[in-house]
Amino acid sequence: MPSQKMYVLVRNDLAEKYRFVQGAHALAQFGLDHPKEFKEWGNKTIVFLGIRNFKKMIKWVTILENLDKAFSDFYEPDLDMQLTAIACYDNGEDFKKLDVA
């Protein structure tokens, strides 16, 4: 079984410099929501993955909820509370088909 890593899903339809800020927000939210898993991760490997757009990002929230994964999503106030990023501590099996951001 692959080791656990922090996966951060960001929207590719956002400007590149904005993507990583949004990903950082999702990661910070994950630390608040899941302190045990965040501590276990211990600031080791982090992988940024690109998601095409808002609609696809919403699908990932549903997928992760259905899989009962520990994740946090971030909704940007400056973008009318749109979902912009998701952080998930996982073995990555479900993210294999996604491209690195």
Distance CA 4, CA 93 (A): 10
Query: What pTM value is reported for the model?
Result: 0.94
Q: Are strands 99-100 and 82-90 parallel, antiparallel or unpaired?
A: unpaired
Provide the mean pLDDT of the chain: 94
Chain segment 14-54, per-residue pLDDT in tens: 998 889 999 999 999 999 999 999 999 999 999 999 999 99
Burial 1-29 (b: 16+ CB within 10 A, else e): eeeebbbbbbbeebeeebbbebbebbbeb
The domains of the chain, with CATH numbers, are: 5-100 (3.40.1490.10)
Check pLDDT > 70 for residue 1: no
